[in-house]
Amino acid sequence: MGGVLRDAEPVQRVTSDGDVVTVITSKSVHKARSVILAAGPWTSQLTEPLGLSLPLEVFHLPLTLSLVELDHSTTNKVSNFVNVY
Ligand SMILES: Cc1cc2nc3c(=O)[nH]c(=O)nc-3n(C[C@H](O)[C@H](O)[C@H](O)COP(=O)(O)OP(=O)(O)OC[C@H]3O[C@@H](n4cnc5c(N)ncnc54)[C@H](O)[C@@H]3O)c2cc1C
């Protein structure tokens, strides 16, 4: 058991022939019986070539918060807005 942490080596593609999973990175090729993909919201980009479509999407949401003194009602509205977005 154990593992090797490979920093600065982005995964470019993951393929599988059913028995062996091949992980192609910017620096090398790794083969394993099983692979855990934990690329956060970018995971779907790696699973799509495998025919697996995940409902994950990356998008930018510009958000500016100003710290001002608010009354209770306005505080609740801001809080609800942040929870929704
Ligand atoms: C602004 C913001 C604030 C948040 N605040 C909170 C909070 O307060 N509390 C909370 O519980 N959650 C919070 N979250 C959510 C939390 O960050 C995520 O739920 C959590 O980080 C998901 O963990 P993960 O390991 O699945 O993915 P991530 O943390 O996204 O990790 C995925 C990793 O994979 C790497 N990666 C992606 N593609 C590749 C590739 N091709 N090759 C190699 N590596 C790759 C990425 O660089 C990243 O390091 C917040 C999220 C955001 C965006």
**Ligand 1 touching residue 47 (CB < 6 A):** no
Among protein residues, the one with the nearest Cα to ligand 1's atom 15 is: 40
The pTM score is 0.75
Rounded Cα distance between 44 and 46, Å, is 5
* Mean per-residue pLDDT, 12-25: 95
Half-sphere exposure of 74 (CA within 13 A, CB side): 6
The per-residue pLDDT for range 20-73, each reduced to its tens digit, is 999 999 999 999 999 999 999 899 999 998 899 888 888 888 988 777 777 888
CA–centroid distance, residue 30 to ligand 1 (Å): 23
Please give the pLDDT value at position 85: 66
Instruction: Give the pairing of strands 29-32 and 21-25.
Output: antiparallel
Determine the residue type at 16.
S
**Ligand 1 touching residue 35 (CB < 6 A):** no
Ligand 1 atom with least separation from CA of 39: 34
Residues 21 and 34: beta-carbon distance below 8 Å: yes
